[in-house]
Amino acid sequence: MIRAFSIDDVRAAEEAVKRELEPGELMQRAALGLAEVARARSDEDGRVVVLAGSGDNGGDALYAAAHLARLDLNVVALLVGSRTHEEALAAATAEGVVPIEWRSGKVPAAAAEALAEANLVIDGIVGIGASPGLPKHLENLPDLFANDAYVIAVDLPSGVDPSGVVAADCLYADETVTFSLLKPCHLLPAGEAACGQLTVVDIGVPEPDSPAVVRYEASDATRLWPTPGAFDDKYSRGVLGVMTGSESYPGAAVLGVTAAVTTGVGMVRYIGPRRATDLVLGSVPEIVSGPGRVQAWLLGSGWDGHGGAPELVDELLDDILPIVLDAGALDLLDEPRSAPTLLTPHAGELKRLAQRLGLEHTQGVPGARVVADALGAHVLLKGATTLIVPPSSTRGPLVSQTDGPAWLATAGSGDVLAGMIGALVASGLGVTEAGALGVLLHGRAAHLANPGGPVRALDVARCAGRAVAEFL
């Protein structure tokens, strides 16, 4: 599992280590690690330009510049902050680094020339204490880089919101070198794309107890997957009740049920309109049609009303069983349930849901958070990066998954994902683990369905079993 930590926790962890070290030692460790990465990425005869801001990131970058100059690299330091880390600047200039000031206003000719000739640019402008966005005089900075310049960000690309929540103008790095601990922006949509390749340099700062953001990996699927034992039967493995599809959209039921069965649930009980029921039975004859004992419910995919048994909906919502609410079922809740609940909207559905509830935020992490808090439910926000946002009261981390190819943006893909997640909830996993492993499985099955090319949602559902076998 990949873990990222809140900015406050990162600062506290670093301060605890600093108290045990000589002054400046932690910065020296960071600068040396940064320099080693930069040296590996640089051309022997190329030019390195270090962008040094006012804070510790600027200090890291300048000390790294000194290390690189000591290795006979041609290094220029652009001093772009309102002030400069004086000790680091002195170390850099003592090794022959050429400083150029550009603290405000238009770019000096010498700075523009240096950037145009640079093969490697080290972005040490701002760090984790900065607000989103670039300083005004640097807003057009990327236009000054050579087309083939390799950009390394120190800790995070300048301009990125360290918390990973607010999208803002920023530099885009080819690689981000961070130190011991990942920060939320490294894993969340508002910042991750700007980070490029992520390299972690260990400078001896231990992980805090509680991450702010996590990402599940294949090893987590291996560890957590509800694998049956010799004495399990279909009931002990989990029975999923599915109420999806409609006369208008019967295919959603086929997709979700196929995915649930192939993911490995013990049994599916399907309730839906006649046309959808016939199609489901034709495609997945092992399901049982009609109500009965289940361990969890999946509702809403493909609804144009309340599915095939609207008279059961209120009863299900009042029940103590876990429930996954997708698509048309997202409008069912107005207040928290007493049982685990997972909502699976895409961005447009989240906006409509938040507006219906009269909430201030309607998009991204803030929108998902206020919906989760209002309904006491976990919100799985689907997208290129899929997020699982728990209610604040749980104090649980956000989950951020980027497992699937872009080809998954296709009709029916969400129905398949809902079926996979429903199967895992019925098998006994909590909604967070089921959601995360469902997204992980969804992405892996898509890669198997047609590696590198377009995929059908039904093919993704049919590849779920092979993907599970790979995990195990």
Which CATH number characterizes residue 53's domain? 3.40.50.10260
Which whole-number Å values give the CA distances from 440 to 55, 73, 195, 258, 385, in the listed order? 38, 43, 22, 17, 11
pLDDT of residue 407: 96
277 is in an annotated binding site: no
129 is in an annotated binding site: yes
State the pairing for strand pair 2-4/213-215. antiparallel
Which whole-number Å values give the CA distances from 262 to 235, 280, 424, in the listed order? 16, 14, 11
Last residue of a domain, one of 164, 181, 213: 213
133 is in an annotated binding site: yes
Last residue of a domain, one of 161, 188, 213: 213
252 is in an annotated binding site: yes
* Same structural domain, 313 and 342: yes
* Same structural domain, 185 and 247: no
Total residues belonging to the chain: 472
384 is in an annotated binding site: yes
308 is in an annotated binding site: no
130 is in an annotated binding site: yes
- Tell me 268's DSSP state: E
* Same structural domain, 139 and 242: no
| Residue 112 CB burial class (10 angstroms; 0-12, 13-18, ≥19) | middle
174 is in an annotated binding site: no
pLDDT of residue 44: 81
Number of domains in the chain: 2
pLDDT of residue 310: 75
383 is in an annotated binding site: yes
Last residue of a domain, one of 189, 213, 237: 213
Which CATH number characterizes residue 299's domain? 3.40.1190.20
* Same structural domain, 76 and 103: yes
Q: What is the largest CA-CA distance in the chain?
A: 81
CA dist 432 and 389 (Å) reads: 9
* Same structural domain, 174 and 280: no
CA dist 22 and 446 (Å) reads: 51
pLDDT of residue 437: 98
* Same structural domain, 151 and 9: yes
* Same structural domain, 198 and 339: no
Q: What are phi and psi of 136, to 5 degrees?
A: -55, -40
* Same structural domain, 225 and 337: yes
pLDDT of residue 391: 97
351 is in an annotated binding site: no
* Same structural domain, 188 and 235: no
Q: State the amino acid at position 358 in one-letter form.
A: G
* Same structural domain, 316 and 198: no
User: What share of residues in the chain are helix, strand, coil (percent, to 5)?
Assistant: 40, 15, 40
pLDDT of residue 212: 98
* Same structural domain, 375 and 226: yes
271 is in an annotated binding site: no
Please list the alpha-helical segments (H only) found in 157-247.
Answer: 189-195, 218-224
Q: How confident is the chain (472 residues) per 10-residue block, as mean pLDDT?
A: 97 95 95 96 90 94 96 95 94 95 94 95 93 92 94 96 92 97 96 96 96 98 96 95 95 98 97 95 95 95 79 88 96 94 97 95 95 98 97 96 95 97 98 98 97 96 97 96
* Same structural domain, 194 and 123: yes
What's the whole-model pTM score? 0.94
81 is in an annotated binding site: no
pLDDT of residue 46: 86
132 is in an annotated binding site: yes
**Whole domain around residue 375: which residue ranges?**
218-471
155 is in an annotated binding site: yes
58 is in an annotated binding site: yes
